Structure 1
Amino acid sequence: MGIPGGQSPFFHVKPRVKQHWLVIAVSLAAYLVDNSVLAQSASGLDPSSHPVDQASKRRKASDRAEKLRIGLATSPRAPAPAPNPGAPFEKRARADRATQTRTQKRVDPFARYDNLREKGVWFNIPGAVDTIDQDKGGLRSALADVGIGYIGWTHNSFANNLLPNAARSTIANQLYMGQNPTFASANFMIVTYDLSRLGVSEGQIVLGAEQQHWTWDRPGPDRVGLNTLAYYQTFFDKTLELKLGYLRNQNEFTGTLFGGITGSNMSALFQGGMSTNAAPTPAVNLKYNFDRGLYNKASVQRSISPDGPYVQVTENPTGLNWSTPHAGILLIDEAGYKSKAAPGVPDTWLRAGVGFNTSRYTSLTDPKRRRESGNNFHYIAADRQFWQNAPDGTPSRGIYAASPSWKLRRT
């Protein structure tokens, strides 16, 4: 048995028993200590090796350790750990990049309310982010959690003819808005319920109320009543859209908001029987969406009074009556192309429509004649965006040009 250091073991047994056992104990202790040191120096090597010569064992252990160090230093797969003074900066940079990525993917907190806007109308109802209250107090989010959305707005106008020779008149004899100082106010509240929670594809129930006031009674009159009560649903992956109930088709067809309030307007279509915000009527609308923005939309609507919106509101101020005297059925069909604004893609809307009304109208040439049916109208309109203010932010903002044209004919 070898002893490290090249020394050979020497046992000298003396006749005395105590010395004999002392020598054996010292030799055994030295052997155990040397083996422990050797095992620690060769840590990580093959533990099954058991060389005879201790010096040879030390040399082999040293050679293997050296080869191991060289292999670790030259292997690209397992680089030796070494202190890196730039590590804290690299970790910080990675953390900043991760934070930036999370910020870019952050969801718009108001996007959850988009599906709660009224569906089927041609204009974009302002979203929650564009309202005054937004989600103050958590009311909007609490209602959205149970599928309810809402929007309220007020529309106010004032007109006055400032020309020096403007003819004034009494209120009873006023002929147009602004002939005398004229103020008008219309206030709406619309509530929606999301039926997709119940498995109805894109389904929605819409309930709205309207209040209006005019200082000149003729365009009015004052009223508080129903604005809309509608059911909406899509079929075949939004290819077909159905909307029925008490509708105001001025927001479903043609594409203008003026509606006889001020200046040049679509009052000819109202004379043709189309329902308005102040005069909703029972209707069924069906829209078929072709590829590439082409569509066709048809409606079977109970006409408003053939004597005009004023008589309609006077005879049915709440809007809940099924019909008014002399009112018939209005059939509308509109075909068009619509492409919403996107970054670098301008908003475009081209449409043309026709309407046929079975209501019994008074003859314009001879008011004493018996009422007759057979009123119809047609229209063509185009809207085109020519410049985008913020293509990457809100591409719908910009400069537009519009060219509406409609014609009413009584037979």
Structure 2
Amino acid sequence: MAASIQIYSAAAPVFNFRSTTKQRGVPIALSLAASLVGSPAFTQTANVPNPRNEIPDEVAKTRLQRDSDLARKFRRRRLKPATLLVDGSALAQSASLSTTKRYSADELVKTRTQNEIDPSAKFEKLREKGMWLNIPGPADTIDQDQGGTRSALADVGIGYVGGTVNSLVDNQFPNAARTSIANQRYMGQNPTFSTVNFMIVTYDLSRFGIPDGQIIVGAQQQYWTWKPGGPDRFGLNTIAYYQTFFDSTLELKMGYLRNVNEFGGTLVGGSAGASVLAPSSNILYQAGMSNNAAPTPAMNVKFNFDDRLYNKVSIQRSLSPDGQQAEITENPTGLNWRTANAGILLVDEIGYKNKAAPGVPETWLRAGAGFNNSSYKNLQYPQQPRVNANSTYYVAADRQLWQSALKGSAYRGIYGGFSVMYAPPDLNRVSQYYELRLYAKGLFDSRPTDQIAIVATNTVWSNYAVDAALAEGNLVHRDSTAILGTYTAHLAPGIYASVGLAYINNPTSITHTRETGHALNLLVSTSIFF
């Protein structure tokens, strides 16, 4: 813009007022003032003595003030070039360009100010979308934006998050009935170690005009000393496409998905960093729902009635009806389109969810049902052919009971919640699951991002499976009860450490021995995100 002003300033026919008539000179001068007022280049030109115009200083000052006032009026009215004199049309176009650039500069300053307030804000749209699970964002990683690598990738639309979660579970009772790993009956009977490592990369498609558009690709590796807890694998974590329609009223996500992160809300607190030790039922797994270790092809559609009430449905290729271990054994990379006996799982969840705000407690209510046409073994009639009609149902709620910090950290406080899940006992080894939870986020001012949780659970086994094991002469139990307490410390950006103690009555599946009737498991875990 300065260059344009200098060119116009050098135009002799415009500035040589003495060579034109007064009737024509005044409008041109006003048009010139409208295009130049407020510009640094004009200010500099006005301060340079002009030997051709010997006007007293006071007169020049008055004229400059008058022209400035008129120019401001012209800009407010946004005069079209057609309303100016023909001789002033070029100057009017310059004034319009100056205004446009001024507005662009204002937006640039606004964006820079926002980034100075929250440098990580520019990364938010690059986080994976469509999940209830909260994976720590770039500001809560060990590398953050060191060296500008994350910013450089963000500039071309690429985001990423990686993590490693390492856990140890060990029964503290002196009569823990240690055994060989091959004969281990439950997690913690022998010291049980596991490591889960993942990497997820996203690409922003909104830069091409696709509303909230995103491509997500991820991989995962895991290792367990007790194989039924895992088992070991390295393979796909997710390949997904996400976008919204109708001003975010409709959300679409499809690809190889981990639906356990999309439905149910099974982790206490909803945070991947603070919930790694919390118990959760495997009812959703046995119903066929995909998860981080076993993604499957799916398409999810969520309809938002408003910013709180929603309905979400999924059509998903089911996990193997013979269980998670059978699924991973047959499909370790996660890329197979289908596995033996696996059919289609339909899931529908309706919910109400609002985030915490000053004076407004966080609330999440949800209820869902799943219907699966995979070929399941009939537990009631084991000799008969498999059955192609399984189902599951769940209701869950979480509510913030008290806010400890209303200003700026409304999420801090005490929460309560429960979950109830059911599956038909003739097709599912776990028939009922009940959970009560009480947890606190940021209870202490000195530890605003730590979490404390107390969780009680009751797992009810299929009466048909229990009766069959009893008929074979085994020691059996019909349910398993646990109470767990954990403390998760947020040690540094991207680093969490959890310690907990869980008492479990009947820690094995259905059958047990006299030595494996109880467990007092020490739980230790670290989570690191980058």
What is the TM-score when the length of structure 1 is the normalising length? Answer: 0.72
Give the secondary structure class of the aligned counterpart of 1:137: helix
149 and 292 in structure 1: CA distance in 2 versus 1, 3 angstrom threshold: closer
> Counterpart of 2:387?
372
What code does the residue aligned with 1:373 have?
A: N
Q: Kindly, what percent of the aligned residue pairs are identical?
A: 63
Segments of structure 2 that go 5 or more residues without pairing to the other structure are: 1-57, 59-111, 428-530
Q: Give the counterpart of 1:209 among 219, 226, 231.
A: 219
Q: Does 1:238 align with 2:231?
A: no
Q: Give the counterpart of 1:223 among 233, 240, 250.
A: 233
**Two-structure CA RMSD over aligned residues (Å):** 2.1
> Counterpart of 1:278?
293
**May I ask how many residue pairs the two structures share in their alignment?**
311
What code does the residue aligned with 2:213 have?
A: G
> Counterpart of 2:92?
none
What code does the residue aligned with 1:295 have?
A: Y
Distance in 2 separating the partners of 1:232 and 1:104: 26
What code does the residue aligned with 1:251 have?
A: N
Higher relative contact order (CA 8 A, sep 6+): 2
> Counterpart of 2:128?
118
Contact 1:269–1:408 under 8 Å retained in 2: no
Distance in 2 separating the partners of 1:133 and 1:400: 31
| Equivalent residue runs for 1:307-326 within 5 Å | 307-326=322-341
> Counterpart of 2:142?
132
Give the secondary structure class of the aligned counterpart of 1:270: helix
371 and 297 in structure 1: CA distance in 2 versus 1, 3 angstrom threshold: same
Higher strand proportion (structure 1 or 2): 2
Q: Give the counterpart of 1:340 among 355, 362, 375.
A: 355
Contact 2:115–2:122 under 8 Å retained in 1: no
Distance in 1 separating the partners of 2:277 and 2:135: 21
Segments of structure 1 that go 5 or more residues without pairing to the other structure are: 1-43, 45-101
Q: Does 1:189 align with 2:204?
A: no
- Mean Cα deviation higher: 316-325 or 153-162: 153-162
- Pairwise CA distance, 1:107: 3.0
Distance in 1 separating the partners of 2:122 and 2:406: 23
What code does the residue aligned with 1:287 have?
A: K
Summarize deviations over 1:338-360 as a string: whole Å, max 9, x none.
Answer: 00112221110000000000000
What code does the residue aligned with 2:210 have?
A: V
146 and 263 in structure 1: CA distance in 2 versus 1, 3 angstrom threshold: closer
- Pairwise CA distance, 1:165: 2.2
Contact 1:351–1:381 under 8 Å retained in 2: yes
- Pairwise CA distance, 1:264: 3.7
Distance in 2 separating the partners of 1:106 and 1:146: 20
Contact 1:250–1:257 under 8 Å retained in 2: no
What code does the residue aligned with 1:197 have?
A: R
- Pairwise CA distance, 1:287: 0.4
Q: Give the counterpart of 1:158 among 150, 168, 182.
A: 168
326 and 104 in structure 1: CA distance in 2 versus 1, 3 angstrom threshold: closer
Give the secondary structure class of the aligned counterpart of 1:210: strand
Deviation beyond 4 Å, 4+ runs, structure 1: 102-106
Q: Does 1:267 align with 2:277?
A: no
Summarize deviations over 1:257-313 as a string: whole Å, max 9, x none.
Answer: 489x86742201100000010000000000000125111000000000001111101
> Counterpart of 1:296?
311
> Counterpart of 1:108?
118
315 and 106 in structure 1: CA distance in 2 versus 1, 3 angstrom threshold: same
- Pairwise CA distance, 1:408: 1.3
Summarize deviations over 1:24-48 as a string: whole Å, max 9, x none.
Answer: xxxxxxxxxxxxxxxxxxxx9xxxx
Distance in 2 separating the partners of 1:134 and 1:292: 30
Contact 2:249–2:306 under 8 Å retained in 1: no
Q: Does 1:180 align with 2:190?
A: yes
> Counterpart of 2:366?
351
Contact 2:115–2:121 under 8 Å retained in 1: no
Q: Give the counterpart of 1:330 among 334, 339, 345.
A: 345
Contact 1:177–1:262 under 8 Å retained in 2: no
- Pairwise CA distance, 1:398: 2.5
- Pairwise CA distance, 1:126: 1.1
What code does the residue aligned with 2:300 have?
A: N
Contact 1:377–1:408 under 8 Å retained in 2: yes
Q: Radius of gyration: which is bigger?
A: 1
Summarize deviations over 1:136-185 as a string: whole Å, max 9, x none.
Answer: 01110000000000001111211111112222222112111001110111
Contact 2:267–2:278 under 8 Å retained in 1: no
What is the TM-score when the length of structure 2 is the normalising length? Answer: 0.56
